[in-house]
Amino acid sequence: PQSFRRLEYRPPVYTFDQVELDIALDPARTIIKSRIEVLPGKSFEAGAPLVLVGHELEFVSLRINGEAHRHFELTPDFLTIHSLPKEGKEKFIVEIICVCVPEKNTSLMGLYVSNGNFFTQCESEGFRKITYFLDRPDVMARYRVTLRAREAEYPVLLSNGNLLKTEKLPNGWHSAIWEDPFPKPSYLFTLVAGKLECIEETITTSSGAKKLLQIWVEPHDLQKTRHAMDSLIASIHWDEKRFGLELDLERFMIVAVGDFNMGAMENKGLNIFNTKFVLAQPETATDADFANIESVVAHEYFHNWTGNRVTCQDWFQLSLKEGLTVFRDQEFSADQMGSESGRAVKRIEDVRLLRQLQFPEDAGPMAHPIRPDEYQEISNFYTVTVYEKGSEVVRMYQTLLGIEGFRKGMDLYFKRHDGQAVTCDDFLMAMADANGKDLTQFRNWYSQAGTPRVKLEEHYDATKKQYQITLTQSCAPSPGQPDKKLFHIPLKMRLITNSDDQVEQLLELTQASQTWTFDNIDERPVLSINRNFSAPIHLDFEQSEADLLTLFSSDDDPFNRWEAGQKLAMQMILNHRLPDKQLIDAYRNLLMDPKLDPAFKDLALTLPAESYLYEQCTSVDPQKIFTARRAFRREIAKQLQLEWAALYQQMQTPGPFKSDAVDAGKRALKNLALSMLLEANTAVWAPMAVNQYRIADNMTDRYAALAGLVIHGAREATDCLSDFYERFTNDALVIDKWFGLQSSRPPVDGLEPTLGNVKKLREHPAFKMNNPNRVRSVIHTFCSNNPASFHQTDGSGYEFWADSVLALDPINPQVAARLARALDRWRLFAAPYQDRMKSALERVAAYQTLSPDTREVISKALS
Ligand code: DPP
Ligand code: ZN
C-alpha cells in the first residue's frame, strides 16, 4: 500500500483562481461542469502537465481555453493534461464535464443521497468524487456554484457563501447561484438540495453588521432546533469577546443530515451536521446531548477562523486546526457552565475522555504524533490524538504563556497568516514571537507520539525545614520512534500545608531529571501536582493513601481533588480490594457537603473506566478487572445506601424543566444515586426506577431510569424497553439510544450474554447497515464500550467484530476502519484473549478486497 510522508510535501505545480461549477443534480446521474482558471503554482516548471485527481467519476469531456483538448491521460485516479497553452506559464481556462452517481454512494464521501436529499462531504478527499481537481488544502480558490434540480423534489438549493440568484427552468427544474467571497480549499466546498425547512435569526455582530443565521432540517424536526440556534449565537458572541474574531459572512447556515460519517463539518458558511449534534428537545435529548450539541456547534463555528480563514498546508497539519479548535470549544463550554466549579467539571470530563480513549491510542499500534509523519489513508487520522491531545498541546501554550500571552500569539497568528494554508510550525512561531519565548523544545510535542511519564520523588527534611521534589521524565517507544527527545512539560503545583501559606507555582520540566527545593516549610506538606491536568502525562508518584485522602477531602484544585479519589479507587480495584472505612467516610463527607457542586460529586463517585484501568496493567484480564471494579462499586453502593436514598430525594428538580448546568448537575447526581441503589439491591429499588421512567418529563431522567434497569438486569427492564421503543418509534436518534443501551449491557448473573441480544438487534427491522449512527449504536457500542461482554475467553466477541468489519467495509470504509480499531490493544491482554484477538485480526487481514482504510488499521495492528 502507498504511504504518504510529511517531508515529501511539495507546493502545488499549478494553482486555481476562480472556479465555476454547474451541477445538475440527479440521484442516478449527476452532471458536473467545471470551469477553472489555472495559474502556475509555487513548484511550477514550464511544460509541466496539470495533474488532477478524480475518483469514481465518469469522464465526459475536456476543453482548454474554449477548445476541445485531446492531450490527456485518464487513469482510475488521475486526469493528466499535457500540451498546455504557452507551456502553462500564463493563466488558462480548463473546462471539464463529468458524471457521478450519488444514489449508489454509500461511503458518504463526495456527493450522496440521504433520505431523498442531496448532501456532500469533502474533507479530506471527497471533492475528487465530485470533479477532477487539485484536491489539496493548499490550493485555495473562489467558487461560484450553479445548482440545478427538479423543483418539486428539491425545492431548497444551498451552497457556500451568498445567494446571488434563483431561477425557474423548463421541465420543472430550477436553479440557484451561490458565490463564496472567500478563497477556500476544496475540502470546504459543500452543497445541499432537498425538502428542508429552516428557523432563522438575525443578529448584530461586534462591528454593527447584521447577519442571517439559519438552521435547516427536515420539516418534522423544526421544533428541535432552538438549542442549536442558541448555541450558535452564544458561540458567535464568545469568539468576539475572547479572541476578537467576528463572523465574516452575511449568512451562516447549519444543515442537519441523518447519514453522516462524522459529528459535523465546517464547510464555509454552510456547516453540515449529523442530526445527533443538532436536534434536541427535553423529551428526546439528554443533558449530555444538549452539552454535546452546544460544543459541536461551537467547534464548527470556531473553525470559521481556525481552519477556514487560516487553513492547513497539508493533511499532516490537521491538528493545526483541530487541536486548536477543540481547545477553543472546550474553553467555550467551560465558560458556558457559568461558575468556577462548572469549569472544573468540564475539565474533569475532558481529561477523563482523553485518558479513556487517547492514552490507549498513544500506547498502541496506531500511535502517532499530533502531527503525523506518515499515513496511508488520511481519514484514519481524524483521531483522539490529533483532536484531544492536540487540544492539550494548545492548552499548554496557554499554561506557559498565560491567557493574555496566548491571546497575543493568536492575534499574531491571524495577522501573519489570514487567507493562507500554513503549518503547525507557523502556529508555534506566532506564539513564540508574540511572547518572546523560546519554544524550540516544545516542538517535540508535535513530532513525538506516546504519553510521557514523569516519575516523582519527594523528600522532606524536618531539621532544615526543607522540602524537595525530583522529577524524571521518560517516554516509551512508539511505532517508528525507538528513542524520544525530552519534552517541555508545564506542571502546576502547590504545597498543601496546615498554615495554608503556599501559593500555586508553575514548574517547567525540560531536562531528563530536575530537582526543586522549597525552604521554610515548617512541616511535611502534601503535594498537589499537575493541577488542572496542566500536562497530558502519566504521573508515577507513590503518594501515600493518607496524603491522597487529604487531597480528596480538601485540595483547593478541584481537578486534583477528583484525581486523588480516582487514584485511590484505581489502586484498590487493581489490587482487588474493596473500599476501606476511611475511603467510604471520605465519600460520605463529600456527598453530604452542601457547598459542593452536585455535578462534581457525580464525577467524584464515578469510578475510572475499565479501558483506563487496562492501561495501568502489563497483562490485562478483562473479566477480573470487571469483577473487581463491580465489587468495589457494589460496596460503595451498599455502605452508603442511606445517603444515596437521601440524595435521590434532595436532588429532585421540581417545576418546569431547565436544561442549565445547575439542574443538569442535580439530575446527574440523582441518577447516579438511582443507579447505586439498583446496584445495592436491584429488586428493592427497581419499582422506584420504573416510576421515574413512567413519570419523567425529560429524556435524561427517562433514559437514566431505563438504563439503570437494563444494566442491573432488573426484571422490569423488558417491559420498559418495549414501551420506550413504542413511544419513540419515529425518532431515529432516540431509537439509536434504545439500540445502544442494549448493546452496552454488561454481563449480569442469570441473564443471557449480551452478544446474543446484539446479534438479534442486528437483524432487527430498524437496524440499517448503511446508517453510521445506527451501526455505531449497535456494533461500536458493543465492541468498544462494553468491554466485559466483548472480551470473552471463547473469542465470540472477536468473531462478531470480524464479521461486522467485513460486512461494513464494502459499504462504508471509514466507519469500518473505525470499528477495526477496537482490537488495537490486543497485545496488552492475557491469554487466551490475546491469541483469540490475533486470530480475528488475521481473519480480517486475509480478506483480499479490504478498503485501504481498514487495511491500514489491521496491518498496523498486526505489525
Ligand atoms: N468535521 C470534522 C471536525 O469539525 C472535521 N473537520 O472536526
Ligand atoms: Zn474540527
What are the distances in angstroms from CA 806 to CA 377, 779, 841?
18, 13, 11
Burial of 37 (C-beta count, 10 Å sphere; 0-12/13-18/19+): middle
Query: DSSP code of 609?
Result: P
Q: Which atom of ligand 1 is nearest to the CA of 266?
A: 4
Give tens-digit pLDDT for 54-82: 999 999 999 999 999 999 999 999 999 99
What are the distances in angstroms from CA 80 to CA 54, 98, 310?
10, 15, 29
Supply the CATH number for residue 115's domain.
2.60.40.1730
Q: Is the CB of 123 under 6 A from ligand 1?
A: yes
Give the mean model confidence (pLDDT) for residues 136-144: 98
Q: Is the CB of 378 under 6 A from ligand 1?
A: no
Domain with 57, as residue range(s), is 13-193
Residue type, 267: N
- pLDDT bin (cut points 50, 70, 90) of residue 818 is very high
Average pLDDT score, the chain? 98
The residues placing their C-beta within 5 Å of ligand 2, an ion, are 322, 325
Q: Which atom of ligand 1 is nearest to the CA of 265?
A: 1
In terms of domains, do 189 and 274 share one? no
Q: Is the CB of 388 under 6 A from ligand 1?
A: no
Q: Is the CB of 272 under 6 A from ligand 1?
A: no
Q: How many CA atoms lie less than 13 Å away from 160 in the CB half-sphere? A: 30
Q: Is the CB of 265 under 6 A from ligand 1?
A: yes
The CA-based dihedral angle spanning residues 830, 831, 835, 840, taken in that order and rounded to the nearest 10 degrees: -70
User: Which of 421, 392, 168, 241 shows the shortest CA–CA distance to 313?
Assistant: 421
Cα–Cα distance for residue pair 682/686, rounded to 1 Å: 6
Q: Is the CB of 322 under 6 A from ligand 1?
A: yes
pLDDT of residue 1: 84
Supply the CATH number for residue 275's domain.
3.30.2010.30
Indicate the top mutation candidate among 121, 187, 266, 387 to test ligand 1's pocket, ranked by most ligand atoms within 8 A of CB: 266
pLDDT of residue 142: 98
In terms of domains, do 725 and 820 share one? yes
Give tens-digit pLDDT for 528-581: 999 999 999 999 999 999 999 999 999 999 999 999 999 999 999 999 999 999
Cα–Cα distance for residue pair 38/274, rounded to 1 Å: 35
- Is residue 781 within 8 A of residue 742, CB to CB? The reply is no
Answer yes or no: is 815 within a domain.
Answer: yes
Asked whether residue 141 carries a pLDDT value surpassing 90, the answer given is yes
Smallest CA separation from ligand 1 atom 3, residue: 265
CA of 352 relative to ligand 2 center, distance in Å: 20
- Is residue 148 within 8 A of residue 174, CB to CB? The reply is yes
Supply the CATH number for residue 382's domain.
1.10.390.10
Smallest CA separation from ligand 1 atom 5, residue: 265
Smallest CA separation from ligand 1 atom 4, residue: 265
pLDDT of residue 400: 98
Cα–Cα distance for residue pair 824/354, rounded to 1 Å: 16
In terms of domains, do 204 and 187 share one? no
Give tens-digit pLDDT for 707-742: 999 999 999 999 999 999 999 999 999 999 999 999
Give the mean model confidence (pLDDT) for residues 135-151: 98
- Is residue 254 within 8 A of residue 304, CB to CB? The reply is no
Give tens-digit pLDDT for 343-357: 999 999 999 999 999
Burial of 726 (C-beta count, 10 Å sphere; 0-12/13-18/19+): exposed
Strands 538-540 and 453-461: parallel
Number of the ligand closest to the Cα of 323? 2
Q: Which atom of ligand 1 is nearest to the CA of 262?
A: 1
In terms of domains, do 734 and 707 share one? yes
Q: Is the CB of 318 under 6 A from ligand 1?
A: no
Q: Is the CB of 736 under 6 A from ligand 1?
A: no
Provide the residue count of the chain: 863
Answer yes or no: is 490 within a domain.
Answer: no
pLDDT of residue 826: 98
In terms of domains, do 150 and 165 share one? yes
Q: Which atom of ligand 1 is nearest to the CA of 296?
A: 4
Residue type, 123: E
Cα–Cα distance for residue pair 272/262, rounded to 1 Å: 10
What are the distances in angstroms from CA 141 to CA 43, 92, 597?
17, 15, 50
Smallest CA separation from ligand 1 atom 1, residue: 265
| Residue 73 three-state SS | strand
Residue 88 gets the label, from left (phi > 0), alpha (psi -120 to 50) or beta, of left
In terms of domains, do 160 and 244 share one? no
Cell triple for residue 264? Answer: 459535523
Indicate the top mutation candidate among 127, 272, 303 to test ligand 1's pocket, ranked by most ligand atoms within 8 A of CB: 303
123, 125, 266, 300: the catalytic one is 300
Tally of structural domains, the chain: 4
What are the distances in angstroms from CA 209 to CA 248, 249, 305, 691?
10, 10, 18, 51
Q: Is the CB of 262 under 6 A from ligand 1?
A: yes
| pTM, two decimal places | 0.99
Q: With pLDDT > 90 as the criterion, what percentage of the chain qualifies?
A: 100
Answer yes or no: is 543 within a domain.
Answer: no
Q: Is the CB of 824 under 6 A from ligand 1?
A: no
The CA-based dihedral angle spanning residues 658, 663, 666, 672, taken in that order and rounded to the nearest 10 degrees: 50
Cα–Cα distance for residue pair 359/717, rounded to 1 Å: 35
Give the mean model confidence (pLDDT) for residues 835-846: 98
Answer yes or no: is 518 within a domain.
Answer: no
Answer yes or no: is 162 within a domain.
Answer: yes
Q: How far apart, in Å, do the first and last CA atoms of the chain sit?
A: 14
Q: With pLDDT > 70 as the criterion, what percentage of the chain qualifies?
A: 100
Query: DSSP code of 485?
Result: P
Q: Is the CB of 324 under 6 A from ligand 1?
A: no
CA of 302 relative to ligand 2 center, distance in Å: 9
Indicate the top mutation candidate among 255, 262, 302, 318 to test ligand 1's pocket, ranked by most ligand atoms within 8 A of CB: 262
DSSP-assigned beta bridge partners for residue 273: 256, 264
Q: Is the CB of 21 under 6 A from ligand 1?
A: no
Smallest CA separation from ligand 1 atom 6, residue: 265
Boundary-marking domain end, from 416, 447, 478? 447
In terms of domains, do 380 and 396 share one? yes
In terms of domains, do 304 and 327 share one? no
Answer yes or no: is 571 within a domain.
Answer: no
CA of 300 relative to ligand 1 center, distance in Å: 7
Give the mean model confidence (pLDDT) for residues 824-847: 98
In terms of domains, do 692 and 806 share one? yes
- Is residue 136 within 8 A of residue 124, CB to CB? The reply is no
Residue 178 CA, distance from chain mean position: 31
CA of 383 relative to ligand 2 center, distance in Å: 11
Give the mean model confidence (pLDDT) for residues 137-160: 98
CA of 271 relative to ligand 1 center, distance in Å: 10
DSSP-assigned beta bridge partners for residue 159: 191
Give yes or no: 266 in active site: no
Cα–Cα distance for residue pair 804/802, rounded to 1 Å: 5
Give tens-digit pLDDT for 220-257: 999 999 999 999 999 999 999 999 999 999 999 999 99
pLDDT of residue 75: 98
- Confirm whether the ipTM is greater than 0.90: yes
- Angle CA(254)–CA(258)–CA(260) in degrees, nearest 5? 80
In terms of domains, do 681 and 712 share one? yes
CA of 122 relative to ligand 2 center, distance in Å: 13
Boundary-marking domain end, from 309, 343, 365? 309
Q: Which atom of ligand 1 is nearest to the CA of 263?
A: 1
Answer yes or no: is 530 within a domain.
Answer: no
CA of 319 relative to ligand 2 center, distance in Å: 9
Cα–Cα distance for residue pair 433/401, rounded to 1 Å: 12
pLDDT of residue 341: 97
Give the mean model confidence (pLDDT) for residues 101-118: 98
Radius of gyration of the chain (CA): 28
Cα–Cα distance for residue pair 392/23, rounded to 1 Å: 42
Q: Which atom of ligand 1 is nearest to the CA of 299?
A: 4
pLDDT of residue 427: 99
Q: Is the CB of 300 under 6 A from ligand 1?
A: yes
In terms of domains, do 180 and 205 share one? no
CA of 228 relative to ligand 1 center, distance in Å: 17
Residue 280 gets the label, from left (phi > 0), alpha (psi -120 to 50) or beta, of beta
| Residue 62 three-state SS | strand
Boundary-marking domain end, from 447, 471, 503? 447
In terms of domains, do 231 and 213 share one? yes
- Is residue 682 within 8 A of residue 708, CB to CB? The reply is no
Provide DSSP, 110-127: EEEEETTEEEEE-TTTTG
Q: Is the CB of 384 under 6 A from ligand 1?
A: no
Give tens-digit pLDDT for 287-299: 999 999 999 999 9
pLDDT of residue 540: 98
Answer yes or no: is 780 within a domain.
Answer: yes
Cα–Cα distance for residue pair 327/332, rounded to 1 Å: 9
Supply the CATH number for residue 659's domain.
1.25.50.10
Cell triple for residue 81? Answer: 493534461
| Residue 195 three-state SS | coil
Asked whether residue 665 carries a pLDDT value surpassing 90, the answer given is yes
CA of 789 relative to ligand 2 center, distance in Å: 32
User: Which of 628, 691, 698, 638 shows the shortest CA–CA distance to 666?
Assistant: 698
Query: DSSP code of 498?
Result: T
Cα–Cα distance for residue pair 492/506, rounded to 1 Å: 4
CA of 756 relative to ligand 2 center, distance in Å: 37
Give tens-digit pLDDT for 452-505: 999 999 999 999 999 999 999 999 999 999 999 999 999 999 999 999 999 999
pLDDT of residue 787: 98
- pLDDT bin (cut points 50, 70, 90) of residue 607 is very high
Which residue, chain included where needed, has cell 421515574?
A: 692
- Is residue 98 within 8 A of residue 146, CB to CB? The reply is no
Q: Is the CB of 264 under 6 A from ligand 1?
A: yes
